[in-house]
Amino acid sequence: MEESHKKVLQRYRINIVTGLDPLSVFDRLLEKGVFTQDMIDKIKSSGTRRDQARQLARDLETRGSRAFPLFLESLHESDQHSLAELLQSGAPAVQGSTTNRLVFPVVRTLPVPSAVDFQKQIKTTVVPTPTLSPERETLQSHTQVRARMQGRTRRDSLQSYKMDARPCGHCLIINNVAFEPQSELSDRSGSNIDCDKLERRFQELNFMVEVKTNLKQRKIKQELLGLSKKDHSPYDCCVVIILSHGTEVSHNRFPGAVYGVDGQYVPVQHVTNYLNGKHCPSLQGKPKLFFIQACGGGERDRGFEVFDEVEPSNSGEDDQTDAIPMSSSSDSLSMSDEPDARATLPTPSDILVSYSTFPGYVSWRDTQSGSWYIETLDRILEENAATDDLVTMLMMVNHEVSQNSAKGIYKQMPGSFNFLRKLLYFQTLS
């Protein structure tokens, strides 16, 4: 496929996923030789209508120079004119290709029968009750199709978050690198690499990114409180990323804590409290995402022996951890345990916390290339954000990081606490 046509499919991927009816174009694409029956069967088995539409768009990019115009023809033939015209508006014409001539519906004047013909028709035709004129039948047919499409859209709205605001929302990155001597915590060499990667990545995902560096515990809380006080009404999502040392603490919701550069920590469950549906009303019902690159404790995972697995990769000699021994202090926020009996949704709903490592274990960071988790997360988002939902991509991150070995011995297993109610697909800029 022409590179320009691939870019059109990627630019309007969200429109294809939300608006395409794949079942109506499968046979047409098969007849035109765009897909084989095996390929169509594979697309059908990919899941929901949205999943099938996403897989179809992805596979279409591999089907040669004629695939794009033939796809547009198939859309028009199946009465999906709006989507076809949207894609065509962003695509250059295909030189010398007869398949680029799209077939539009032809409007013809209805024949008016003579009086004799009309009498014959009355005598010979069994007319169902109630009767509709051809114009009314066409109108009713279009109304029914429109109603089915609206119903399908309503069902899809229950499956995926709205993520089309421009910009999509705020993204706060807290990057703690240089720790004060009294903290007895080492500097986190390589963290600036992580920070730069994520700043670029979330800008490309259409977020307003703000980076804060080397914050003490009190300043971390102030930044989170300030973020919670913003009006998020025009936006669809909010992201908080914390790169720091961490430890294991007592908790009743989300495990772990992150350190300020002064050696005082903030529990992760308190980090999430600032933005939950109770304390940040303008984010109610909207996804709130937290990415934590810090150790969950001090234990080093040596893994276990497996067979028939991918050969694990060994990282460099400069691997460091972000681990601090467990503390029993809860450092409670006064607002964290108040009842919320009148809420229409559970207080922690629409929250996802992605940890670089399993609670209780260390998280590895290369001083030259950054942390395993952030490096992998950045690449997975770059390669898959246009087609896959967030939870699927995090599973990809989990798998890839689990294949690494620090100093040829130690392992790492990222994971998430997922309280999202719907699928989440990021915007991808063309």
Residue numbers annotated as active site: 245, 295
Distance in Å from the first CA to the final CA of the chain: 17
Spell out where 53-178 has E strands. 169-175
Distance of CA 298 to the CA centre of its chain: 32
Rg (CA), the chain: 28
Q: What angle do CA 168, 271, 202 make, to 5 degrees?
A: 30
Q: Do residues 419 and 350 touch, judged by C-beta distance below 8 A?
A: yes
What share of residues in the chain are helix, strand, coil (percent, to 5)? 40, 15, 45
Per the structure block, which two tokens stand in for 63? 């089907």
The residues with which 354 forms a beta bridge, in sequence order, are 291, 416
What per-residue string of b and e applies to 134-155 under the rule 16 or more CB within 10 Å gives b?
eeeeeeeeeeeeeeeeeeeeee
Q: Do residues 346 and 336 touch, judged by C-beta distance below 8 A?
A: no
Determine phi and psi for 35, rounding to 5 degrees. -125, 155
